[in-house]
């Protein structure tokens, strides 16, 4: 039986060079046992992973900035596996651009209202700088999402939002999107890849973070599923 979905990997590969929030190395493999030192007949390489919880394509749980909010392990599969919409703002986006109500209105005029229970993915085109971390980080200037849009998405009862930048907020704006979205018990996905490969509507997204107890953030494998 053929699989009824075309799969799209929306996840950046974690590397030592991957952009991080503070500009330091946010991910590394340490080899604890190498093949030549293995004493068993079958030789093994054993690695220890060191990384920031918020490195690469990752999920922010409400507890990231809401004391007492849900942690990563509290997010249910019914929340993490959801229909998605992809809103493309690449024709407008620049380092100081924030997604506007007009962007949402234009999308809904063409495709209809954002369905309740959806993950809303913003494609800004910023991932083109992923392999040049200084440009990607850009002293915290990158396309983001306006407070008004976050409020509107909550009215649409979305499960969360995702974006192809370090954050839907710029620090200079005071993190209103985090406060609103996470404060409502939703989640945020940052640093997504390949969003342009998704259709505007009709796809599903599997957001699968490492299930960590008391985790406020966790790296994730993000997979888009497009019905054939």
Residue 171 pLDDT grade (very low, low, confident, very high; cuts 50, 70, 90)? very high
Residue 2 pLDDT grade (very low, low, confident, very high; cuts 50, 70, 90)? confident
User: Which of 225, 221, 222, 220 lies closest to 198 in space, CA to CA?
Assistant: 225
| Residue 132 CB coordination number (10 Å) | 12
Q: Is the pTM of this model over 0.75?
A: yes
Class of domain 58-227: alpha beta
Q: Give the tens place of pLDDT for each residue, 77-133.
A: 999 999 999 999 999 999 999 999 999 999 999 999 999 999 999 999 999 999 999
pLDDT at 213 over 80: yes
Rg (CA), the chain: 18
Q: Where in the chain is the domain with CATH 3.50.30.50?
A: 58-227
For residues 54-76, average pLDDT: 98
User: Which of 118, 205, 211, 121 lies closest to 165 in space, CA to CA?
Assistant: 121
Q: Give strand pairing partners of 9.
A: 223
For residues 193-204, average pLDDT: 98
Q: Give strand pairing partners of 42.
A: none
Q: Which residue has the tokens 């085109």?
A: 125
């Amino acid at each position: 039986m053929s699989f009824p979905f075309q799969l799209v990997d929306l996840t950046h590969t974690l590397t030592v060079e991957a952009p991080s929030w503070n500009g330091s190395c946010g991910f590394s493999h340490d080899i604890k046992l190498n093949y030549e030192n293995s004493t068993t007949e079958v030789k093994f390489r054993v690695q220890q992973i060191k990384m920031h919880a918020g490195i690469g394509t990752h999920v922010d749980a409400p507890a990231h900035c809401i004391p007492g909010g849900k942690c990563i392990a509290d997010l249910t599969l019914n929340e993490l596996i959801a229909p998605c919409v992809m809103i493309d703002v690449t024709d407008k986006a620049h380092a100081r651009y924030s997604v506007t109500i007009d962007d949402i209105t234009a999308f809904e005029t063409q495709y209809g209202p954002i369905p309740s229970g959806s993950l809303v993915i913003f494609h800004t085109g910023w991932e083109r700088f992923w392999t040049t971390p200084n440009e990607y980080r850009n002293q915290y200037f990158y396309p983001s999402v306006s407070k008004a849009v976050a409020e509107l998405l909550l009215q649409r009862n979305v499960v969360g939002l995702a974006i192809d930048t370090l954050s839907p907020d710029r620090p200079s704006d005071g993190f209103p999107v985090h406060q609103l979205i996470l404060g409502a018990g939703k989640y945020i996905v940052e640093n997504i890849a390949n969003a342009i490969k998704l259709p505007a509507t009709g796809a599903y997204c599997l957001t699968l973070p490492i299930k960590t107890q008391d985790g406020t953030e966790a790296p994730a494998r993000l997979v888009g599923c497009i019905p054939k």
